[in-house]
Chains A and B, each alone.
Chain A
Amino acid sequence: MSKHIKENKLFQKDIIINALKASFVKLNPAVMIKNPVMFTVEVGTLIMIVLTIILLFSPDPAQGSFIYNLTLTVILFLTVLFANFAEGVAEARGKAQAESLRKTRQDTPANLLINGGKVKKIMSSELKKGDLILVSEGEIIPSDGEIVEGIATIDESAITGESAPVIREAGGDKSGVTGGTKVLSDSIKVLITIEKGESFLDKMIMLVEGASRQKSPNEIALTILLAGFTLMFLIVTVTLHPFGIYANTPIAIAFLVSLYVCLIPTTIGGLLSAIGIAGMDRALRANVISKSGKAVETAGDIDTLLLDKTGTITIGNRKATNFFKVNGMDENTFIKYCAMSSLADETPEGKSIIELAKKMGIEVNHSAHSNEKFFKFTAQTRMSGIDLKDGTEVRKGAFDVIKQLVLDNKNIVPHEMQSVVNKIAEDGGTPLAVTVNNKAAGVIQLEDIIKTGIQERFQRLRKMGVKTVMVTGDNPLTAKFIANVAGVDDYIAEAKPEDKMNYIINEQRSGKLVAMMGDGTNDAPALAQADVGVAMNSGTQAAKEAGNMVDLDNDPTKLIEVVEIGKQLLITRGSITTFSIANDVAKYFAIVPALFIATIPQLQTLNIMNLTSPQSAILAAVIFNALIIPMLIPLALRGVVYKPIGAEKLLTRNLLIYGLGGVIVPFIGIKLIDLLLTLTGIV
């Protein structure tokens, strides 16, 4: 499905072993009752066990031979085991995936900072929320936390699989660090933000484990539907007993139990929880930690996707590509002012300005200006700058902000500046205006590079019925240009954090479900408001708490995958349900004639599969019913392929495969098993 998903083999040895163990552990009726369909199969098996034992001591020809009853009992028991096994495999895989992540955070030494500067060596398992630790070059970060001081290069490959190191620093939106990652350079002070055992990963592991797993709303609804079907067929089977007596054809208990087990939706009943767990597992494989099963499900329903331009639509960050001065100022002086104004600008754009200036031979450095007054860039002022010792005030920022500043100081905005700004914006670049002493000085051109292939992805989303919205701090012209090129449906330009929030609320008011991704503290409210909020792992703790998923890769395009994983989960549920019910048609043609053929030989006409004998017909149906569960485990775990071809085509496609296929397959399967049983002389 995507480059992110790690393709593990479905069945590894240790997973199988764990799942086999689980198959038996889950036989506990107190556990089974959570799955009403399979619980009744377990009860049916118990009835058969008792009956078989009775038959051993007092044979009753009306109930069939001991061996035949024993065979049926064993197959029914296997049916239950297979269902448990399916759930077991899904759990084991999920756990294995989570464990492999957790391995990275095995007990590591930690340098606990105690009362001012002293360092105490402890183990990571002893860390508590609120502890302050020091991590130096070459050390492993012992737990999740937030950098409170310093900047460091960190290798996150253990978590994300991405080998390129990333920079994390105090303040700003890149202050989050994950336990298990390694500091490559510098040292940082980290505030521990989680209690042991409460990391998102720990929570995720709990979600895939049976014990504390909460069924998602849709899974509950489907369970109810399946329980309803089970009840229906229970009535069919129970009432058949007196009807058989009326027709002078008493039906053997083994036959009734077999009929019942074949009719109830055991296939979906046995695979339902595996499908749910596998959905979360797929998310995990995409390096997305979901805080609940519901979040994955909701992802499938998303109508509107809020995507940050940077990193999602465009590669990385904008880079400065040109300086345009607009008044008589010397070109080099202008560039120097531009560079100086960016010294306090920690955004990538700011850094790129210094770099560009350097390339053009003009170098400024922080230390030379360390006692001058910096104005940091904030999302509110959208300006940064510096007050030099000589009293020169340099400001740089979005054109509208700067324009206001110039006008407020009773200066004019030259026509030239306006046209440069427009030109840059129309070409999809971002103009940054610069003032010196509140007089218009010039414009810096920042340019975006749109990711290749992004248009196709948006088209795919459109076919899925998902509206894409680009969120950017750019001015409307630039935003429009990029939106058009990338093919998004809408954009929010010059976005302030509250704009995002308002947009989400508006969409939700008209009934839509909204997903967004965010990292910063000021994203937290919007992340909480969104129906699916994916926080980047590098983001602030607040953002991670607010969202309902965490992306370990910090990859903004991940949202698209999350939506597909959600859809796939739902489709798999629907398709296997359809398949399961469609299967009953063939089973009926196998079993019903077999039940009455003894007294009403004319019913042979209904034996369209021409099965050898009533005994072989019933046995074949029960065997098919049992075997189909393990045969579908790979499908349940991998999920039905999702193709964004529009709802109608998708429905037609899945109906043909799982509906029509579900009718046809068992005819073939039962006939083959019957042939095999006959050839081997078992019946």
Chain B
Amino acid sequence: MIKNLKPAIMLTILLLLLLGFAYPFVLWGIGQLMPEKSTGSPIIQEGRITGYENIGQNFTDEKYFRGRPSAVGYNAASTGGSNKGPSNPDYLAEVQARIDTFLVHNPDVKKENIPSELVTASGSGLDPHISPQGAYVQISRIAKTRNINEEKLKELIRNNIEKPLLGLFGTERVNVLKLNIALDKLK
């Protein structure tokens, strides 16, 4: 037994050094060549990190575009989805409540124009995006709160739409954080 264990233990130690230590070290080294990207592309405003490009933030203020509901309240230290089943009555009641709340906050919007991502929780709880439609339906509210021309907001959204990869692959979307930063700058 010991005779068989020895090579196994020794090989484990060596592989551990290669795969557990040398490998991440190499990638860390590569990361040092791209310091911004390798720290997750933080957005730095006035010398402090106000967020990460890809980490969604919780927007509850009427003056901001809202992102998607989050099962963890955009807590980026402990993330996750709702894991609610599609037929769960509690869950469906929750979605219904979100629709109703949205309609209260956006009285000009017709129900059939609300896109589903605005009333369903994302997988990570940190989804930074909504669909362009998700941004458009919020225009009237933002316009009223901020007193900005709706056309101007439409243009702002258009400028912030991220196209599918090469225009061919994937979804069309709007990064809510970036959109709101641009919105703040609009004044």
A and B touch in the complex (CB under 8 A): no
Chain B residues at the A interface, C-beta cutoff of 8 Å: none
Chain A residues at the B interface, C-beta cutoff of 8 Å: none
